[in-house]
Structure 1
Amino acid sequence: MRILLMTRFYRSGQTTHVLDLCLELLQLGHRVLLAIADLNDVIFLQKLKQAAVPHLLTAKQDKLHRQLTRWKPEIIHNHSAHTLPVAVQLGRLLNIPTVSTVHYLDFEPRELLEEQTAVILISQEMRWHFADLRVPAFVVENGVRLAPLRTRAKRWRQLALLLGQETPEKRENFYQLSQHLILWGWEVLAAGNWQLPGVKTLGWVYDAAPFLRKANLVVGTGRAIREGMAAGCAAYVLGSYCDGLVTPENVEGLQTTNFSGRTQRQSFCPKSAANDLARPDPERFLELGRFGRRYALQHFSSGQMALAVEGVYRQALARQANLPG
């Protein structure tokens, strides 16, 4: 299958997700072309080239149309609101189906989703939120690439990694948690654009794996939690809201909202956090890391994600073939 993937470049897990999907689809034997707009990051461009992902550094309709009339894609998979209007137009010009993955609840322009052949939603919460869509919608949760890991070899170190980009909505929660972690004896690193007192800032990182291998606690939402669990870390859900430590008892509920913090919709509470983090039991945290790794192997594989997406493509192609005219 010849698949055009479209996105805008973001310094976030959304772009990492698209790259992982490209790699998995290539591994499944598909022909893949990535059209990425606003890529102004030299290191990420090098990463694309090293991964041998065929790509075009544009999402402009006229430039893409000239290329695609020769390349002849069979389907377009869009991942960004910014590139969706062009994806819709290209689908019409080439008479091929278009699929969009919705990464956020507040996705706009929502009306253009109705013009898709199919829509992919990344959580059960999102299915409820977009229940009024009149086109076929499928839940395919984000996957992460699962590198080999010996969780029994992981050693205790009271090190927390804050993983994610700073936004105004997250700022106060992350400030409060970071300062209490330091007070409770934790070493704290932050990957992203954070500037927090006493916290070592790593900036935007292209591969969090080396830092996750050293940490025993990862803090964030969405993909950060999935990557942390896959790396054998205990995980603490914190964003605009706080759902706290991921445990075997609450993991399914937190997964329903994509580890966003929206399961309980609470602000960070130092008193509640202290129960888990003020005097951490090393063996408990190591066991939570081992549990997280087992759970990730069962539920977060990017390979399984790509197979599910491939299934959506086939249904979209079949639906397009059955359209009148």
Structure 2
Amino acid sequence: AAIKSDVLIVGAGIAGLIAAHECLEKGLSVSLVDRDIEGNSGGLAKLAFGGMALVGTPLQERMGIKDSPELALKDWHSFAQFSEQDEWPKRWAEYYVQNSAERVFHWLCDKGLKFFPAVNWVERGLNGDGNSVPRYHVIWGTGHRLVELFLEKLAKHSNRDSLQFFYRHRVVQLVSENGRVVGCRSESEETKKVVEFEAEHTIAACGGINGSIDKVREHWYKPWGLPPKEILNGSHPYADGALHELVSNLGGSVTHLDKMWNYAAGIPHPQPQFEGHGLSLIPCKSALWLDAKGNRIGPDPLVTGFDTNELCRRV
């Protein structure tokens, strides 16, 4: 028999955990399915620095930073390379700049999180085509604390009995009836048995595609030419684009896969947990970039934190 709930969430990363929390707040029952082990709940967020671009926060005000949704939207348009067809990305940009202070900063503070008192200025663009003021807010305790907090909140929630976790389950099919998704089928990584889930609503909180180097190569940004011969995986190996394909096969909209976020400064992980495991280096602002022969990369200097996209293109 199928496992039934009001909401089925595929993916126990930070998006899935927060979605589950919000559903419990509304009194809904939740099935949370994830391919990884319980100890890795939170996915990549658990290992991430956890910075967020936020607009018009009290921290900015305290530092004398004059910001507004209007200025942030202007900055966003300066580097987003929107096309005329990008209706939904443009709407998202507008919604985000107008609501990030209330629905991210204050919301997280109300949950008991704190932010570093310094707001950083990153992605300002080499020629001013980026953030014109500092907006980069970092959680006290980084992404690890964000994940731990919501795991704690789920464990202690008054509706905790309405939440079921299913770890080591790989979703192999999204089930649809009359044009809408009504659940999924998953395969247990341990028993290899197929388990069926039914729900009124299904959320695909599947992360990106960067956990699959093959997918990264397939969707490499074409103006940059061919992808590098060597690419390290700084993402999560289960963020492999498989769920994106299941959504696409049902006619769901999956777009802009070439607009992925890659880093120029990476090294092989000294204690790799999977093949090709990489770490992103965060060098000082005055880092000296040299080619394989020891010559400085130029003529324009490579400046860390100013324009990560441009660093990737140049390297």
> TM-score by structure 2 length?
0.25
Greater relative contact order (Cα 8 A, min sep 6): structure 1 or 2? 2
More helix by share: 1
